[in-house]
Structure 1
């Protein structure tokens, strides 16, 4: 979960220029955060701006570099400390000591700024990561007492409830987050996945909204297409998979799923073979495609060819049990 303290975007600086023999005039020149970062790499305010921009881009390692540098240069700077802790707590390979260090920094910020809702929820996140949900909920509720419409507090609540297996309260929390921010993409994805897991076709509507909010997000389209497929809306699934391929021709799962539909829903093994081969041409390690080709040839009675495909699946994943079982099954029928 990302919790950003300061907005990013563009900074404005005034540049003094000479104009012939006239007196100097001040001109406003617009520079992006990235441009300013290159020009003033030791400016703490710019390091903080750039670090928060990196958080928005999910580049937590670069955000950590910026935060650490800004914090070293000005240890008393609360913004720098918050950025450093935020990046430390969000990076993928964070350790237990990273979480504890971030927690200490967040406590410092909360002590200095007790009504800082972002810092309160960030602190709650560290407790949730440590499995201390009681303290996590305490700080979440503190944030909501200050601002009952604070979106990220409901998101963290939803995540905790989801980890506890309480889908009902998780859905309620994510829905409340959407009420605070109707364009919050991640909440639609979360709700869609929960409803999909519950085998509820309502998930389709959440995934549709997600694709509308982010038309170029492949994850949202794949979730939508797979939901269509799951609930036997085959035409819609195929159309969505093809849309994905237009957006990103290198992404192989849509090709595989189009093959799966041809094989198992439309009884068209020739078309299925085409899609599986297209999948494997782009990604030879796609073991499910090798296995399904084996099934096609096994159904045709071509046992030797089927075994070769099953062996290919095992080559790329020796633990792929269903291919191993298929080989044993065919070996018994020789």
Structure 2
């Protein structure tokens, strides 16, 4: 449930960059998903033509459109599925996700409110509603939804986790820590709660933060969010070698995770290993061709290495993606 939350908090800067440069192209071409020649879509189109009143087929096609970021088509299919069979809660959940990812947050919220009215004691739906309310900074409403969960299941760890997220967003660190602590007491395997405990204690300068990050990575050794949080913490306390090892581990697990390469590059820059840093920024760009900061820092590394033309090209590319990027402007002036 809360991976959605963690992504938006954990990679906020990158997400802003992606939205700024139009990486997802939401809304630019509502028929784009139909032009892919996707085999699964072709099969579903044929099946729907034969069985036009089968709600599950519309839901299955909506899932495909959602994956392809064809949000108009996904929303249309989900509304069709609900009109045929309004008893399937998964239809509402995916419709809410499609609206949210399509920047139609009001409709996303209303969809989940409708779902809760239809399924008032379904805990995953109440938690999802509280999550969306929190994202939209409706903290009072979010906590009311959590209270409904606890009336049904007083020991629900996810509910206490959501309390923690709300308090964290509201700046109430003490109550956030207490909530996350209760969450892990009720579910010791709740990795995201351990991560948040580590982050909050790290912000307070408490050495115990390291134990929380270690616990998170011990519970799930391949959890990218947990490893990233641990690597960032290690960097913050000056353990550059430990942090570098953690980010390298991340990219062994997920070779396409651009932030792992990028953070490793920054660490190598701090360690004066410029050629290796250049390679890491290069890998980050290959993993994410719209990673603005990776272009900038690859430009910095190239400039230090005397590769003026490469530096110039990287600064120019960073400015194409973010025209107001002051550091890139300054870098371009230097190499000119």
TM-score with structure 2 setting the length: 0.66
Shift in Å, 1:204: 0.9
Residues 267-317 of structure 1 show CA distances to partners (whole Å, capped at 9, x for unaligned) of 4545533443454455543322321233345xxxxxxxxxxxxxxxxxxxx
Contact 1:226 1:237 in 2 (8 A): yes
Alignment correspondent of 1:149: 189
The answer on 1:273 being equivalent to 2:317 is no
Alignment correspondent of 1:45: 89
Shift in Å, 1:56: 12
Contact 1:255 1:275 in 2 (8 A): yes
Shift in Å, 1:210: 2.1
CA spacing shift, 1:197–1:58, aligned 2, 3 Å: farther
Contact 1:204 1:227 in 2 (8 A): yes
Shift in Å, 1:189: 1.3
Please identify the structure whose Cα radius of gyration is greater. 1
Residues 37-95 of structure 1 show CA distances to partners (whole Å, capped at 9, x for unaligned) of 35523445124542686699898937534322212444454443222112111x2xx33
The answer on 1:174 being equivalent to 2:213 is yes
Contact 2:210 2:233 in 1 (8 A): yes
Shift in Å, 1:181: 1.1
Structural RMSD (CA): 3.5
Contact 2:181 2:197 in 1 (8 A): no
Structure 2: gaps of 5 or more residues: 5-55, 64-76
Contact 1:188 1:207 in 2 (8 A): yes
Q: How many residues align?
A: 267
Alignment correspondent of 2:2: 2
The answer on 1:262 being equivalent to 2:322 is no
Residues 114-134 of structure 1 show CA distances to partners (whole Å, capped at 9, x for unaligned) of 222111221232233334444
The answer on 1:99 being equivalent to 2:139 is yes
TM-score with structure 1 setting the length: 0.67
The higher-RCO structure (CA 8 Å, 6+ apart) is 2
Alignment correspondent of 1:7: none
Looking at structure 1, the residues matched to 143 and 313 of structure 2 have their Cα atoms a distance apart, in angstroms, of: 53
Task: Compare the two structures and name the one with the higher strand fraction.
Answer: 1
